[in-house]
Structure 1
Amino acid sequence: MDIAGKTAEVVVAALRAHLAGVDPAALVGVSCLAPGADTLFAEAVVELGGRLRVLIPSADYRRTQVSAADAGRFDAAVAAAESVTVLPFETAGPQAYEAANHEMLDMVDELVAVWDGKPAPDGGGTGGAVAEARRRGVPVVIIWPDGAVRAGASGEAH
């Protein structure tokens, strides 16, 4: 999250460069579609001809966690997905996010993490997903290009 402006541009370029090394017929991306990096990853997978699988952390996720500004991109990614799974949580929150990370890691051969290296405040953040992937022996690719900053970290606009 908190990926915007010029950082989004360099992150997208880095994601495309990494994913371009995968045959589009074999490219399957799994995303929870959080605003920011999750959505950028999902869009890159689709743009490169891959298949997208979406995990929605809770029944209320779109209504409570997706802003009006992000709703169009969220809905487009859901429409482009070959599958959409809503986890059995009524409300979004740390427990649902952590479960979504665990489910995602069960489905992937590699974790592509857009991450600045900062630890997660709970098990549902990127840091938690990276730690769990490493614990499981799932290969991790960190995407955080030179010059990338979190939105608001240095005055970058959201």
Structure 2
Amino acid sequence: MSHIGVTGHRHLPAAVLPAVRHGMTVELSAVTTAGALSSLAAGADQLFAGIALDRGVPLTAVIPGMDYEAHLGDEDAQTSYRRLLKCCAARIDLPREPTHEEAYYAAGRWIVDHADRLIAVWDGCPARGPGGTADVVAYARSTGVPVTVLWSPGVLRC
């Protein structure tokens, strides 16, 4: 039994969605999954959380230490966040961080530290800011946590 964590971009081009959905479903089906770990951010995190819940995988929400809900994006992302949060088996509220970037990165590290493997919805490019997807992937690789990157070749992030 394993715990699978997720990291990924908030804005996903429509061209990657079929491959990402399929990859997440395969990864969540590959072994007996004890649980899924997600920060429930818009984009990759919410997509992963929904697929995990649909498959009956217990979901743990890892909430960055900041005014998180206000920074999730538009009203749809906030509504989806609240809906997913209600369905979680557990919620981890991380300590407050000095900046949003540090809070996001702390959540990503917590997920890596508690996961047996990590799904990264990542275009392979450097992070656009501190604590972004590329930084979480680098941290996972440096700690020996296996990373499965899901993306469609040639597709540029929006």
TM range (shorter): 0.7 to 0.9
Instruction: Report the Cα distance in structure 2 between the residues aligned to 1:119 and 1:15, rounded to whole angstroms.
Output: 22
Deviations 1:10-47 (A, max 9, x none): 31122112222233xx3411001111001111111111
- In the aligned structure 1, how far is the partner of 2:157 from the partner of 2:89? 30
1:156 is matched with: none
Q: How does 1:73-84 map to 2 (within 5 A)?
A: 73-84=80-91
Higher strand share: 2
For residues 106 and 123 of structure 1, the distance between their equivalents in structure 2, rounded to whole angstroms, comes to 18
Partner of 1:16: 25
* Cα distance in 2 for residues equivalent to 1:75 and 1:92: 23
Mapped to 2, the partners of 1:132 and 1:34 lie a distance apart of 19
Matches within 5 A, 1:91-130: 93-130=100-137
Match of 1:2 in 2: 11
- Inter-partner Cα distance in structure 2 for 1:139 and 1:33: 21
Instruction: State the identity %.
Output: 33
Give the Cα–Cα distance (whole angstroms) in 1 for the partners of residues 155 and 50 of structure 2. Answer: 19
Give the CA deviation at 1:76: 1.6
Displacement of 1:92 in angstroms is 5.9
Instruction: Name the SS for the 1:50 alignment partner.
Output: coil
* CA spacing shift, 1:32–1:114, aligned 2, 3 Å: same
Per-residue Cα deviation, 1:53-82 (whole angstroms, up to 9, x for no partner): 011113410023342021221112101111
- Contact in 2 for aligned 1:33/1:74 (Cα 8 Å): yes
1:51 is matched with: 58
Instruction: Label 1:92 to 1:77 Cα distance change in 2 as closer, same or farther (>3 A).
Output: farther
What TM-score do the two structures reach when normalised by structure 1?
0.84
Alignment size in residue pairs: 149
Letter of the aligned partner of 2:25 in structure 1?
R
Relative to structure 1, the CA distance from residue 87 to residue 142 in structure 2 (aligned partners, 3 Å threshold; closer, same or farther) is same
TM-superposed deviation, 1:87: 1.4
Letter of the 2:23 counterpart: A
Structure 2: how far apart are the matches of 1:79 and 1:28?
A: 16
RMSD (Å) for aligned C-alpha atoms: 2.0
Q: Given the two structures, how large is their TM-score scaled by the length of structure 2?
A: 0.84
Other-structure match for 2:139: 132
Cα shift at 1:52: 0.4
The reply on whether 1:65 has 2:72 as its aligned counterpart is: yes
Tell me how far apart the structure 1 counterparts of residues 132 and 54 of structure 2 sit (CA, whole Å): 25
